[in-house]
Structure 1
Amino acid sequence: MEVRVDDGLDDLPPEVAATVHRLAREAVTNARRHARGATRVRVRVTADDTSVHLRVADDGDPAPRRPAGYGITGMAERAALLGGTCEAAPNPGRGWTVTARLPRSGAAA
């Protein structure tokens, strides 16, 4: 697993930092459970003046091994509580990518 976090994220409000952590953890868990044959999971956290961005991508076979649960829905709901978004989609070819954007201030839109 490769994890990259930009500098300058130490001043995030606790609710934003916790949400980024929870979303990343759920996305990595989903990759571990569902991405057969994955050899790499990449986690990237970046930020600009107004938003924090999370991207978690794997290179596995996206065919489900288990019945679908509520992980992706739960991630989207968690991001929405802060006025953000979270989406998951298959990559062209192999793997899935989860992307999230949260307001840096933590205030709901």
Structure 2
Amino acid sequence: MADLPALARADATPTVEVSLVGSSTRLARPVDTALHRLAQESLTNAVRHARSATRVGIDVRREGDTVWLRVSDDGQTEPGPAPELGFGLRGMAERAQLLGGSLSAGPGPEGGWVVEAVLPVEALG
């Protein structure tokens, strides 16, 4: 989690803003690694696929025994039903589930695309 600020960039389009709330200490190593990889892959997807996006936000919040990751962009979304999840998103969801967490992805309420993961501070097993 401590490495996530390195993903921020203000000198390119889209800009990437990173916000960390809560302690990043005492996360199980698999959870910390998964957070970074989920954020990285979500950012990569946003940069590649978000149409006309100017901003990507990576927000991580730790409360008690849970860590929330939210990666959102302000790109344009197509009207109609949400597209089917591709292999990358399925793999991300499986990674979260293996740790006892969950992941969802889809159009945001104000447009753009949102990926949200909820992980326990301690990995299962």
Q: Tell me the TM-score normalised to structure 2 length.
A: 0.78
The root-mean-square deviation of aligned C-alpha atoms, in Å, is: 1.4
- Structure 1: unaligned runs, 5 residues or longer: none
- Is 1:21 the counterpart of 2:21 in the alignment? no
Kept in 2, the 8 Å contact 1:36–1:62? The answer is yes
- Is 1:44 the counterpart of 2:59 in the alignment? yes
Amino acid at match of 1:10: T
* Counterpart Cα distance in 2 of 1:92 and 1:85: 20
Deviation (angstroms), 1:94? 2.0
- Structure 2: unaligned runs, 5 residues or longer: 1-15, 79-84
Deviation (angstroms), 1:93? 4.2
Amino acid at match of 1:31: A
- Is 1:60 the counterpart of 2:75 in the alignment? yes
| Count of matched residue positions in the alignment of Structure 1 and Structure 2 | 104
Amino acid at match of 1:96: W
| CA deviation vs aligned residue, 1:28-77 (integer Å, no higher than 9, x gap) | 011011101000000001111111100000000235xxxx7411111100
Secondary structure at the aligned position of 1:2 is classed as strand
Which residue is equivalent to 2:23?
A: 8
Secondary structure at the aligned position of 2:31 is classed as helix
- 4+ residue segments displaced more than 4 Å: none
Kindly tell me: are residues 73 and 10 of structure 1, through their superposed partners in 2, closer, same or farther at Cα, counting changes over 3 Å?
Answer: same
Task: Give the alignment partner of residue 97 of structure 1, picking from 107, 114, 118.
Answer: 114
* Counterpart Cα distance in 1 of 2:124 and 2:24: 16
Task: Give the alignment partner of residue 74 of structure 1, picking from 91, 103, 118.
Answer: 91
* Counterpart Cα distance in 2 of 1:104 and 1:62: 33
Kept in 2, the 8 Å contact 1:34–1:62? The answer is no
